[in-house]
């Protein structure tokens, strides 16, 4: 790794649990490879890895419930006339605002078209033109039509359907649903030896158990539930990032959280997952207005309503503050019934379900947490800094997204890097090892503090940040994270994971004294050359988080 300016930055004010407190494992099992998560990244890896040995997929809800099925926009691939991987690379690097790893992006854009074809061969039905060619649309930041979609705005649901059907056709893949992976079991050498997990009602596998294995592939998605409002499903509580930290892995660039500008606003009290109104709606001509009907994006950016999503999110947040209102409005009345029905059936149904008819009415919208661009640091083969632990999809930081993910690159990333992990395991499946006696002190955060934590994170670590707000919330989260006497349960494990990733996010956001990509500091409004590097977070042996800045852009992976 080339590193010219490594330097530690302030550590967390309070220690966090080094392990989730739980009952002792009451059952055990074995699989060569454990996949945690069942979205596009996890199921792609599982379908490929089944040729290498026994595969166990562990998923928190049912096989179809993760983030992938909620993706509306589509999947980007340079397959259109006049397009090329180089142009896709250029657009991705611009969006990433100087922090993309070019080798990772090149891998994504060159392997993307083949990976997409594999998804089609698996049975995914993307929308086609009358000629039979795939329909390609454009989203913010792309200079070519290269977004493949399905069912109009139901791309993720169709991909998930096809992947789940493929898993059902592969009886050698074992699936455990309604199971939360708690922590990794590590060997004496710090390498992966297995994992502990809690299963709800799986017959003999009920309660806390242990699975021994040779490798774990983390594909558990993001951490949107850290905030009051998010497009992520309720399972996105940062479990993968938190357990990786506790196992000794490095998180990278977790301050870069993308807020989607147009998420349906359902009232002050509405919390958790909120309905997305795809950027593609603005791509087709819809526009934002304030409460007086004024189009406030004009003059803010040359692309007005189709400016990059962080610019739009910030403009909406500003206008909300200026007018002391909790949302703005999206005007798509010009589409008419037919276009709504054919192009955006999912969004139309979701609006109507909430009593809004977008054919004749404005849609209330506000920014909400959408995507974590940072995550568990990996190399080009998905290897983390913990031998035997791999990561792909939203939980990972592969270097593809940099400081801001380009629209519709995330499904592609899950697909490409899920395949690469399986290929790496095919080259060298790690040896199995005995778990060492556990020396990490367990702890738990009280689930009763979660609402307060989410509120503070939304106030001070959301779209707009500054030193005072971040310091205030870091102090508060430190207090909220104090070890509790809560009885071990899913809510307490999730609360601990939420507190852990919130602390990592706050520390990195506080350290990065500049504005770059999706990280907006009101007190440091400019991008600074000095900060053209990465913030890596690790957990020390006392449970405190340590953040280190390095200018290196070389991905790290040590389990060669
Ligand atoms: C959207 O459809 O607006 C979201 C697409 C994405 O996040 O890539």
Give the residue, out of 141, 258, 276, with the most ligand 1 atoms within 8 A of its beta carbon, to mutate for a pocket test.
Answer: 276
Average pLDDT for 464-490: 94
Q: Is the CB of 75 under 6 A from ligand 1?
A: no
Q: Is the CB of 155 under 6 A from ligand 1?
A: no
Average pLDDT for 306-315: 87
pLDDT digit string, tens, across residues 226-243: 999 999 999 999 999 999
Residues that are catalytic: 309
Q: Is the CB of 279 under 6 A from ligand 1?
A: yes
Helix residue spans in 1-154 (DSSP H): 40-49, 85-95, 102-121
Q: If you search the block for the tokens 């707009």, which residue do you land on? A: 464
Task: State pTM to two decimals.
Answer: 0.94
> Is the model's pLDDT at 276 over the cut of 80?
yes
What is the position in ligand 1's atom list of the atom closest to the CA of 406? Answer: 8
> Is the model's pLDDT at 6 over the cut of 90?
no
Closest residue CA from atom 5 of ligand 1: 73
- Percentage of the chain modeled with pLDDT above 70: 96
CB 238 within 8 A of CB 244: no
Q: What pLDDT was estimated at residue 12?
A: 55
Structure tokens belonging to residue 386: 């913990």
Alpha carbon of 236 to ligand 1 centroid (Å): 17
pLDDT digit string, tens, across residues 94-110: 999 999 999 999 999 99
Predicted confidence band of residue 7 (pLDDT cuts 50, 70, 90): low
CATH class of 260-368: alpha beta
Give the residue, out of 71, 369, 393, with the most ligand 1 atoms within 8 A of its beta carbon, to mutate for a pocket test.
Answer: 71
Q: Is the CB of 369 under 6 A from ligand 1?
A: no
Q: What pLDDT was estimated at residue 557?
A: 37
pLDDT digit string, tens, across residues 363-374: 999 999 999 999
Helix residue spans in 354-480 (DSSP H): 410-427, 450-460, 467-480
Least confident of 3-17, 357-371, 401-415, 424-438: 3-17
CATH class of 442-552: mainly alpha
Alpha carbon of 89 to ligand 1 centroid (Å): 18
User: What is the number of H-type helices and E-type strands within the chain?
Assistant: 13, 26
Q: Is the CB of 346 under 6 A from ligand 1?
A: no
Task: List for the chain the helix, strand, coil content (%; round to 5).
Answer: 35, 20, 45
What is the position in ligand 1's atom list of the atom closest to the CA of 370? Answer: 7
Predicted confidence band of residue 46 (pLDDT cuts 50, 70, 90): very high
Average pLDDT of the residues of the chain? 93
> Is the model's pLDDT at 420 over the cut of 90?
yes
| C-alpha triplet 207, 210, 211: angle, nearest 5° | 125
Q: What pLDDT was estimated at residue 142?
A: 87
Least confident of 34-43, 149-158, 544-553: 544-553
CA distance 39 to 415: 10
Listed by start position, the domains of the chain span 260-368, 442-552
Q: Is the CB of 518 under 6 A from ligand 1?
A: no
Q: What pLDDT was estimated at residue 552?
A: 59
* Residues in Cβ contact with 387 at an 8 Å cutoff, skipping those fewer than 6 apart: 189, 190, 191, 192, 430, 558, 559
Closest residue CA from atom 7 of ligand 1: 407
* Residues in Cβ contact with 334 at an 8 Å cutoff, skipping those fewer than 6 apart: 285, 286
Q: Is the CB of 407 under 6 A from ligand 1?
A: yes
Q: What pLDDT was estimated at residue 49?
A: 97
pLDDT digit string, tens, across residues 486-545: 999 999 999 999 999 999 999 999 999 999 999 999 999 999 999 999 999 999 999 999
Among 276, 234, 255, smallest CA distance to 461 is for 255
Predicted confidence band of residue 307 (pLDDT cuts 50, 70, 90): confident
Average pLDDT for 1-17: 60
Q: What pLDDT was estimated at residue 202?
A: 61
Q: If you search the block for the tokens 């774990």, which residue do you land on? A: 216
> Is the model's pLDDT at 5 over the cut of 60?
no
CA distance 265 to 363: 8
pLDDT digit string, tens, across residues 507-517: 999 999 999 99
Q: Over the range 489-516, which residues count as b (16 or more CB within 10 Å of their CB) and which as e?
A: eebbbbbbbbbbbbbbbbbbbbbbebbb
Average pLDDT for 467-480: 96
Give the residue, out of 69, 92, 96, 278, with the most ligand 1 atoms within 8 A of its beta carbon, to mutate for a pocket test.
Answer: 278
Average pLDDT for 418-443: 96
- Percentage of the chain modeled with pLDDT above 90: 87
Q: Is the CB of 153 under 6 A from ligand 1?
A: no
């Amino acid at each position: 790794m080339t590193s010219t300016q490594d330097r530690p930055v302030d550590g967390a004010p309070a220690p966090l649990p080094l392990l989730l407190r739980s009952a002792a494992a009451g059952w055990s099992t074995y699989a060569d490879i454990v996949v945690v998560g069942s979205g596009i990244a996890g199921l792609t890896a599982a379908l490929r890895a089944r040729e290498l040995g026994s595969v166990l997929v562990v998923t928190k809800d049912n096989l179809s419930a993760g983030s992938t099925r909620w993706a509306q926009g589509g999947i980007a691939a340079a397959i259109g006339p006049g397009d090329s991987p180089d142009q896709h690379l250029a657009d991705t690097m611009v969006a990433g605002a100087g922090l993309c790893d070019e080798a990772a992006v090149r891998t994504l854009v060159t392997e993307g078209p083949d990976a997409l074809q594999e998804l089609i061969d698996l049975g995914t039905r993307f929308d086609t033109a009358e000629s039979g060619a795939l329909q390609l649309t454009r989203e913010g930041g792309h200079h070519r039509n290269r977004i493949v979609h399905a069912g109009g705005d139901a791309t993720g649901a169709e991909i998930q359907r096809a992947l789940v059907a493929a898993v059902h056709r592969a009886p050698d893949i074992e699936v455990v649903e309604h199971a939360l992976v708690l922590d990794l079991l590590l060997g004496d050498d710090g390498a992966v030896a297995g994992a502990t997990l809690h299963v709800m009602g799986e017959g003999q596998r009920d309660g806390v158990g242990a699975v021994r294995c040779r490798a774990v592939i983390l594909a558990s998605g993001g951490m949107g539930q850290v905030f009051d409002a998010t497009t992520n499903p309720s399972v996105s509580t940062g479990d993968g990032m938190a357990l990786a930290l506790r196992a000794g892995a490095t998180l990278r660039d977790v301050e870069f959280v993308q807020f989607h500008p147009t998420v349906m606003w359902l009232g002050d009290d509405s919390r958790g997952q909120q309905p997305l109104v795809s950027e593609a709606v603005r791509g087709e001509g819809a526009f934002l207005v304030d409460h007086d009907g004024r189009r406030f994006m004009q003059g803010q950016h040359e692309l007005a309503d189709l400016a990059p999503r962080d610019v739009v999110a910030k403009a909406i947040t500003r206008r909300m503050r200026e007018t002391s209102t909790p949302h703005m409005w999206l005007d798509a009345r010009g589409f008419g019934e037919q276009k709504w029905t054919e192009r955006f059936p999912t969004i139309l149904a979701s609006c109507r379900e909430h009593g809004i008819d977008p054919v004749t009415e404005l849609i209330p919208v506000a920014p909400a947490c959408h995507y974590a661009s940072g995550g568990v640091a990996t190399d080009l083969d998905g290897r983390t800094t913990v031998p035997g632990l791999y990561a792909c999809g939203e939980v990972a930081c592969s270097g593809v997204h940099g400081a801001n993910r380009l629209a519709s690159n995330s499904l592609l990333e899950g697909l490409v890097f899920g395949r690469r992990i399986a290929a790496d395991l095919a080259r060298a499946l790690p040896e199995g090892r005995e778990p060492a006696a556990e020396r990490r002190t367990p702890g738990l955060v009280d689930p009763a503090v979660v609402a307060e934590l989410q509120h503070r994170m939304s106030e001070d670590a959301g779209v707009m940040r500054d030193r005072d707000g971040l310091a205030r919330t870091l102090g508060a989260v430190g207090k909220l994270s104090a070890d509790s006497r809560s009885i071990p349960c899913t809510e307490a494990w999730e609360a601990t994971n939420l507190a852990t990733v919130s602390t990592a996010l706050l520390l990195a956001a506080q350290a990065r004294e500049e504005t770059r990509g999706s990280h907006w500091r009101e007190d440091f409004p400019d991008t600074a050359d000095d900060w053209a590097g990465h913030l890596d977070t690790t957990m020390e042996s006392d449970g405190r988080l340590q953040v280190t800045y390095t200018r290196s852009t070389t991905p790290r992976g040590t389990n060669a």
